[in-house]
Structures are given as structure tokens and as C-alpha cells.
Amino acid sequence: MERTYIMIKPDGVQRNLIAPILERFLAKGYILRGLKFLTVSKSLAETHYADLSSKPFFGALVEYITSGPVVAIALEGKDVVAQGRKIIGATNPAASAPGTIRGDFCIEVGRNVIHGSDSVESAERELGLWFPEGLV
């Protein structure tokens, strides 16, 4: 069954959004296969977002992701990669529809509370990176 990597970013944790965010995915019917709370090293953040290393905001993005603990989540279910991205909403909260996580919980693209893998291939890479110990 398909799996995706979801991460509640430091602002989501600091703003007490862990429970409301998890609730949306679990109520939809996806199954938890991994869940942990961790602080992120600079090298892990840089590897995770390696595709964006040439972007002007890359340094700020790495600082953001390493600014406090995150919640790393592995979810499983039918079409969970694409459906998870729909539940999350557009990258820039200014464009995220109300009813999506970013549409409901944030304002700034640089503080957009959550990550979700953008393809099945990215999900496999990211789950291996964040859960090297494997999943249940």
C-alpha cells in the first residue's frame, strides 16, 4: 500500500497544532506507520530539501526547519501521496483553500506548518531518510 512522509514543522509544533493536524489525516482514514518527535540537524534538513538548494530561500528554509522540534509521520493508504497534498493545500498559504491545513492554519510561505511528499518516489526517499530504522 502507498505511503507518504508528512512532517509537522517547528511552527506547527510550537503553535500546538500537532493534534488538529494529525486528526485530519486519521479521520480521513489513513493509517499511522511511523510517528516521532525530533530535533533536526542542519545536514538532515539540507538533504531533505536538496532539490531546493539553488533557491534564494534555501538558507532561511534550513534555519526554519532546524529552529525547533518537528513531528515526523509516516502515513499509509490508497493514493495517500496525492490526497495528502490536497489535505495540506498549496505551498503558499495565500493560495491555499480554506479547509486545507495551510489554508486554515497559516499565513506565511516561510512558516507553512507542514510538509508532505510530492510524489511516490519522493515519499520513498524521504521515509528512508527520516525513518532509517524502518516502519511498522
Phi, psi of 73 (to 5 degrees): -135, 135
> What is the pairing mode between strands 3-8 and 114-116?
antiparallel
Residue 136 Cβ, how far from Mg ion at the closest point, in Å? 25
Note whether 59 binds ligand ATP by CB under 6 A: no
Contact between 44 and ligand ATP per CB under 6 A: no
Are 68 and 81 in contact by the 8 Å Cβ rule? The answer is no
Under the criterion CB under 6 A, does residue 8 sit at the interface with ligand ATP?
A: no
Among 20, 29, 110, 134, binds ligand ATP (CB under 6 A): 110
Grid coordinates representing 109 are 510561505
Residue 96: φ, ψ to 5°: -80, 135
Q: Indicate whether 22 belongs to the interface with ligand ATP (CB under 6 A).
A: no
Whole-angstrom distance, CA of residue 134 vs CA of residue 12: 25
Binding window for ligand ATP (CB under 6 A); candidates: 12-20, 22-30, 70-78, 108-116: 108-116
| Sites of contact with ligand ATP (CB under 6 A) | 52, 57, 61, 91, 109-110, 112, 115-116, 118
